[in-house]
Amino acid sequence: MTDLDTLEGDLLGQVGSASDEASLDAVRVAALGKKGSISELLKTLGGMTPEERKERGPLINGLRDRVQGAIATRREALAEAALEARLSAERIDITLPVRDAPESRGRIHPISQVMDEITAIFADMGFSVAEGPDIETDDYNFTALNFPPGHPAREMHDTFFLAPDHNGQRKVLRTHTSPVQIRTMRSQEPPIRVICPGRTYRHDSDQTHTPMFHQVEGLVIDKTATIANLKWVLEEFCRTFFEVDAVKMRFRPSFFPFTEPSAEVDIQCSRKGGEIRFGEGTDWLEILGCGMVHPNVLRNCGYDPDFVQGFAFGMGIDRIAMLKYGTPDLRPFFEADVRWLEHYGFRPLDIPSLVAGLTS
């Protein structure tokens, strides 16, 4: 191996291992710069005999050309790699989906939505909303509502009793929203027109019953409120709530201690193919209880039944929510499973209104 071969091997090795433009340039200067190793060799050509020059000239020039070529090729490769690195570092993956804003990711529970729908419908008829506590006294839940002491109707309610307090009084988890009637009448003067939506509790659990459920109570008290008014209010409600032009209703005589006369109301429906439709068909579905407020209840609230009268009704909210939105089982309503809520819940800005449509 000649000294030229050794030098070439060294230089090409350095070119190959130069990892950036600066180190490559240092190799170039060391070989081809003014005092570079190849430049020094070229300078020796001047002092040679013509024969020597003829032999050494092409060898040294060839060495220079190959080293120059290798540097140029390496420079190109380094520039390309640098560009590649920059492109991948600065890359933005525009295929990533945009994350939804919180207001479109959240969901309104069907019960809340149905309560809002009910409130919108009754507000349009001039009703306001009244509320009461979930923990009630026996008086509000039963006695003031004309349930006689020891009456079997108390048993029918599957009541949850709390431990006796320091007076020995056992409070209850309210078994219905009717106690809010008493609270309203004891704190307001007629005329009264309220609905009372809220939670209620009974010792009961299966596919269509949960220990906690929801009811809405209605109460109208004035000098002239009649059963005819009651029927119109309920028909108007059902028609609007189920979004049908007309709905046939059936008032069946019934018994509640706090109303006289009392009725249970069925609405006409069809159950063809396992699907319930309202405003058609030959089946009936019970949806609420109602009646004229019992004179004893009026008296218990300090009203004189000779001067005021009125009607009341009570309806299970969960049941009509299931009917309207086609959910077969009540229990998942209260399991807080986000997948269920994602499917059956409502978008937060779909606020029900009679003008914009209840369900848009």
The per-residue DSSP string of 31-100 comes to HHSTT-HHHHHHHHGGGS-HHHHHHHHHHHHHHHHHHHHHHHHHHHHHHHHHHHHHHHHT---TTSPPPP
Please identify, using beta-carbon distances, which residue of 176 and 183 lies nearer to ligand DAH: 176
- Segment lying near ligand DAH (by CB under 6 A), choices 66-74, 276-284, 295-303, 306-314: 306-314
Block residue for tokens 């890359």? 91
> What are the percentages of helix, strand and coil residues in the chain, rounded to 5?
45, 20, 35
Q: Does 291 bind ligand DAH (CB under 6 A)?
A: yes
Residues 6+ apart with CB under 8 A from 307: 223
Judged by CB under 6 A, the number of residues near ligand DAH is: 11
Nearest approach, Cβ of 344 to ligand DAH (angstroms)? Answer: 25
Among residues 244, 175, 181, the alpha carbon closest in space to that of 203 is found at 175
Which residues inside 100-139 make contact with ligand DAH, applying CB under 6 A? none
Q: Does 178 bind ligand DAH (CB under 6 A)?
A: yes
Among residues 72, 85, 74, 66, the alpha carbon closest in space to that of 19 is found at 74
Nearest-CB residue to ligand DAH? 314
Q: In the structure encoding, which two tokens stand for residue 9, read together?
A: 């091997």
- Segment lying near ligand DAH (by CB under 6 A), choices 19-27, 50-58, 124-132, 283-291: 283-291
Q: Does 176 bind ligand DAH (CB under 6 A)?
A: yes
Q: Does 313 bind ligand DAH (CB under 6 A)?
A: yes
Block residue for tokens 């170039």? 28
Nearest approach, Cβ of 189 to ligand DAH (angstroms)? Answer: 20
Please identify, using beta-carbon distances, which residue of 314 and 352 lies nearer to ligand DAH: 314
- Segment lying near ligand DAH (by CB under 6 A), choices 15-23, 225-233, 286-294, 352-360: 286-294
Sign of CA dihedral 73, 79, 85, 88: negative
H or E element, residue 193? strand 192-201
Please identify, using beta-carbon distances, which residue of 25 and 264 lies nearer to ligand DAH: 264
- Segment lying near ligand DAH (by CB under 6 A), choices 115-123, 163-171, 310-318, 344-352: 310-318
Q: Does 314 bind ligand DAH (CB under 6 A)?
A: yes
Rule CB under 6 A: which residues touch ligand DAH? 176, 178, 217, 256, 259, 289-291, 312-314
Which segments are annotated as binding site for Mg(2+)? Answer: 260
